[in-house]
Amino acid sequence: MFRHWAWQVRSRTQIILESQISWMVLALVALSFSMALALSIGSVPVRLSDLWASLVEPDHGLHAVVWNVRFPRILCALAVGSSLSVAGALLQTSVRNPLADPGILGVTAGAGVAALIVLLIFPGQMIWLPAAGFLGGLITTGITLGLSWSRTHDPGPLRMILSGVALQALLGAVIALLTFIFADRAPSFAAFIIGSLNGLGWGDVQIVFWPTFVGFILAMILIRPLNLLMLEDTAAAGLGLAVRRTRFLASCVAALLAAGAVSVAGLIGFVGLVVPNGLRILIGPEHKFLLPFSAVGGAILVVVADLVARTALAPLELPVGALLALIGGPYFLYILWAKLP
């Protein structure tokens, strides 16, 4: 009897693992295909048969376009999408709220204000943007949690969302004032506020790489604590989890990831809301699978959105942040209607 039960458990586990592997292979194929399309489509088209040669051969006629212009931009899109999506998954679990997102909770706006201040004070020191954004995002996270907590009630979904929206509005006003006061830099500020990948190069890849890499490694280290956070606080504490410390650590990692994305792409929103929520329906809430899938899914979304942004109305280039808001806004309203009482 015991052997039969153990065989059934092992068989179900193997089926689940094989299913997740199949989904991941499919996701990676979709990511590779979207990258190939993004590299080949543009004002100067590149045939798919010539794509590899134009990418690796310096003497190829299209090498400068593919290697120096499109490829670093696509790498930045990968990093931005992965960072924001994983940050959203971390925040949704840490605050136990499906509406949590780096943009909605004000984390992105806090990182953006800090990054703008650094741009104003040290315009040539782009390397400091991720650190400043991390500090701004972390401070905003703490303020949001503090505003949504009271002596008689723990932070609930609605209190947290309202606190985040209010703080985001306040920080948006600060950004608007900075843009007005320093009107001579308004064009670059406008792209930063809306969210854009236009003009990104290899220097931006170097800026966004380390926050993304370190943040993802730290997120994977937190897999077991994140799974325990899905339980009630008393049950998680009974299993030995330091609940408040784990929430703080997860919020710090989310702030780091959001700061890296903001430092190169500006205030892009809703990626961390749409992708993790959709993936929970598709593959379940287990973070061993959710975090890697969120990274790949967010990368696909931003790469495809950026491709549409720069080709839909060519030669006019649309800001990718506006397109993502067109997707995320209605989805946010749906989640708000479906999940909250």
Q: CA nearest 322: which of 336, 306, 333, 299?
A: 306
Is residue 296 included in any domain, yes or no?
A: yes
Question: 134-168: per-residue pLDDT in tens?
Answer: 788 878 877 877 776 655 555 555 677 777 788 88
Is residue 119 included in any domain, yes or no?
A: yes
CB 104 within 8 A of CB 161: yes
Is residue 23 included in any domain, yes or no?
A: no
Is the model's pLDDT at 121 over the cut of 60? Answer: yes
Quickly tell me which residue has 């212009």 as its tokens: 69
Is residue 11 included in any domain, yes or no?
A: no
Question: 277-313: per-residue pLDDT in tens?
Answer: 888 888 888 899 999 999 999 999 999 999 998 888 7
Residue 41 Cα distances to 65, 114, 115, 197, 323, angstroms: 11, 35, 32, 16, 18
Contacts of 43 (CB under 8 A, 6+ apart): 314, 315
Question: 260-277: per-residue pLDDT in tens?
Answer: 888 888 888 889 888 998
CATH of the domain at 265: 1.10.3470.10
Backbone angles phi, psi at 63, to 5 degrees: -65, -40
Is residue 57 included in any domain, yes or no?
A: no
Express as a percent the part of the chain with pLDDT over 90: 19
Is residue 257 included in any domain, yes or no?
A: yes
Is residue 300 included in any domain, yes or no?
A: yes
Looking at residue 180, its pLDDT comes to 80
Cβ neighbours of 71 (radius 10 Å): 19
Please give the Cα distance from 334 to 67 (Å, whole number): 40
Compute the average pLDDT of residues 78-93.
93
Residue 15 binned pLDDT confidence (cut-offs 50, 70, 90): low
Please give the Cα distance from 56 to 283 (Å, whole number): 36
How many domains are there within the chain?
A: 1
The domain in which residue 152 lies consists of 72-339
Is residue 151 included in any domain, yes or no?
A: yes
